[in-house]
A and B are shown apart, each in its own frame.
Chain A
Amino acid sequence: MTERCLEIRDLHVSVNTETGHKPILKGVDLTIRPGEVHAIMGPNGSGKSTLAYSIAGHPKYTITSGSVKLDGVELVGLSVDQRAKAGLFLAMQYPVEVSGVSVANFLRTAKTALDGQAPPLRGWASTVNDSLAKMQLDEEFAARSVNEGFSGGEKKRNEIVQLDVLNPKYAVLDETDSGLDIDALRVVSEGINRYTDQGDRGLLLITHYTRILRYVKPDFVHVFVDGRVVEAGGPELAESLEETGYERWLTARP
């Protein structure tokens, strides 16, 4: 029996650029067990989004070595949709606009793909509307093109609507709290907590601000610098970062 968890081992990742491969992740180790909340904090450009994208299988990033296992299933080498079907979800730092595809159609197509069968028509509309309402998005959003013309905050809330409807085993949220006003931050945090309150879901929260950690309580905080985790601790680590910043890890480097 393999233990259930999202297990990242010695992950090395390069980004494919016009000039060749540029190494970004330099050996990341992380284990997220069901029911745990992990926060990652780190300076701009340290590779946090690269971590999120490469786990999800974005074609721009190449995993040069290491492994990512979800409940024992190796994700490296799987297509993007297979990783989602294995139970992974990524809320994007910059959610993509898809013109002409409604939020409702998108959610239904995704749900159908994940479950292997279409959800019953009866009750589906109210499922979508309930999730929208919880994120304080008007019902009209169901008919709107995915993310098209959404404000920054609405896009982020729409990511949590998807989290709510699709209910994956493990979720990686990349700066979902950035760009939210005070009320929206609370609404989004409540959405995240509803997800984690199920007790058996794993959450990896990438953030720059301790603000959200007042609502979503992390079990572990990881400091991410230059493509790897340089320190891990409890919630108190986030508080100390607030005061001292990342200087001690940055200056420690040659």
Chain B
Amino acid sequence: MATPTTNMSVSHLHPTGSLAIADHRLPSGKEEVWRFTPVMDLIDMFDPNTERGHLAPAVGGQSGITLGRLAVGQGPRGDALLPVDRAAAIAAQVDSADYLLIDQAVAAPIQLDITGHGIDQPTADHLVIEAKPYSSATVVLHYRGHARHIGNVEVIVGESAQLTVVSIQEWDRPAVHLGQHEALIGPGSNYRHITVSLGGDLVRLTNNVSYAGVGGEAQMLGVYFAQAGQHLEHRLFVDHNHPRGVSHVDYRGALQDRNSRSVWVGDVLIRPEAVGIETYEANKNLVLTDGCRVHAVPNLEIETGDIIGAGHSASTGRFDEEQLFYLMSRGISEAEARRLVVHGFFAAILNRISLPDVAETLMNRIDQELAFDKEIQS
């Protein structure tokens, strides 16, 4: 049983949100939330006066959904998402947000392909996904191409709805992608948020959930694979602001090559009113070569002891030479052995995702990168 470690009523780790851009000072890199990020490379991303385009999602032919647009202040836009940083505030101010409304059980995944066409034309988008009470769906956002993009995803999960949102960052280098994914979890609902970050020079996603009422379950899963020069950052914040919610956060990432960097920050706040909740967050990193940097920071703030359970763990391990030896001693080549171990490492998350297409996308990509790395070395 966990015991209270603080009696503060507001998380000191997580800034309070604001829609006003001016409320978010230009990051210097010294702020708690920006300290791992190379903000000097992002100056243009924080400039509200930059002319920004829109990355129109191509939506796979689906029935059972309604597509629309929402102006600033037009509900449900803004019901869930209050920007927590300057980039998110800029995207939250775009004139017209894409709106995806789900009001029944949709069996096939709803595919949104978002493709950037260049790094000269910065883009900002705000996407609102609303799952009406008792609806169910899986939405897959697949980002590709070249872009300097800020993309917010605001998710409203209605009572007893079942919603999975998958966000696949498969950008080309040297794309940059910032954004805030924010979900408001309805009572009795089941929300799964899955990030797969593979491409781009810099991806920094702030993935948050909070609860609209008593109960509701959030699962936040993620996998990432960082290579030379890539910065992949995932910041999670679970705000247990109501009783009897459940949250499970589980991220795994592998890194290879010089100057590959991953950041995982998992903040969980259990407010005094959040009695009877259950939370667990975990992050595991597998370092495949020298020259990788990993930051893994779990934070658990517990303001009530009257909960079912709370736990967290974060670990970073080097590729295990004993495993390599064991596999190779059975005749398996080094490349194949590495592939097996890396696949095995991700299997724990992929088995939970249980979306074969997503698993295949990840594994194919990883196989390519592992093979490519081998070529460079030899």
Give A contacts to B, CB under 8 Å.
Answer: 56-59, 79-81, 83-85, 89-90, 92, 95-101, 105-106, 109-110, 113-114, 145, 162, 166
Contacts and interface: CB of A to CB of B under 8 A. Distances in A.
B332 A95 contact: no
A8 to B, nearest CB: 17
Given A98-B340, A98-B341, A100-B346, A113 B326 contact: no
Contacts, number: 82
A166 B331 contact: yes
Contact of B336 (A92, A98, A113): A113
B29 interface: no
Interface in B338-371: 340-341, 343-348
A109 B340 contact: yes
Given A59-B325, A99-B348, A106 B331 contact: no
Contacts of B343: 100-101
Nearest to B320: A96
B325 A106 contact: no
A89 B325 CA distance: 12
Nearest to B349: A100
27 contacts: A57-B325, A57-B328, A57-B329, A59-B321, A80-B329, A81-B331, A84-B329, A89-B329, A89-B330, A90-B329, A92-B329, A96-B320, A98-B323, A98-B344, A99-B345, A99-B347, A100-B343, A100-B347, A101-B341, A105-B340, A109-B327, A109-B332, A110-B330, A113-B330, A113-B333, A114-B330, A162-B330
A99 B18 CA distance: 43
Contacts of B331: 81, 84-85, 110, 113-114, 166
A99 B344 contact: yes
Nearest to A162: B330
The 9 closest A-B pairs by CB, nearest first: A100-B344, A100-B347, A80-B328, A110-B330, A84-B331, A96-B326, A114-B331, A101-B344, A113-B331
B304 to A, nearest CB: 34
A56 to B, nearest CB: 5
A54 to B, nearest CB: 12
Interface in B285-327: 320-323, 325-327
